[in-house]
Chains A and B, each alone.
Chain A
Amino acid sequence: SQTIHQWPATLVQPVGSPLSLECTVEGTSNPNLYWYRQAAGRGLQLLFYSVGIGQISSEVPQNLSASRPQDRQFILSSKKLLLSDSGFYLCAWRPDSQTMGSGSSYEQYFGPGTRLTVT
């Protein structure tokens, strides 16, 4: 079976410090990977998605970046955190459409999240 891990679970960082959040998926290959942010009491904001190693699509211009150095590893980074970067960061995956075949429908699977507080 497939599992998705995120770490750390919680993080408190000062303004201006760097950030690195990691997400890994087990039990599948070539997944589509996603980073979302959820501000307190708000909905989901898609930040980045990736359909393959080294392929990153950015949805929202900001001081965050993402990388996919390995097939099942997705990293969210920042060089200098802002107060507005505080939130709950969720990683998600879903099977690759080419693997599953056209016409298939498959849901996204979410990790447990990382609670980031920038002080």
Chain B
Amino acid sequence: DTGVSQDPRHKITKRGQNVTFRCDPISEHNRLYWYRQTLGQGPEFLTYFQNEAQLEKSRLLSDRFSAERPKGSFSTLEIQRTEQGDSAMYLCASSPRGGSVGTDTQYFGPGTRLTVL
């Protein structure tokens, strides 16, 4: 068990460019989450996958954001036409199979820090 990994760890881009982040969850974790965190705030929920199905997407997530989890393994988060307000830490978390809904313990990756110039 190597933990949740994210790539890249840091990304600097110019406004208007597209960026894509990758998350590899802990093996056999069927639930995967994406969060965004800005300085002085807690993680803000973006979206949730159970296996390959995207079950929830935050209303805060504009159409410029899209996430996928093909085959229920790794996930990607793409931001199109980046804006300066997108600058944040993007965190991925996974949680294990089993247990009932509402008893979800999440394990976080190291995050991808995005800076939009």
A-B interaction:
no
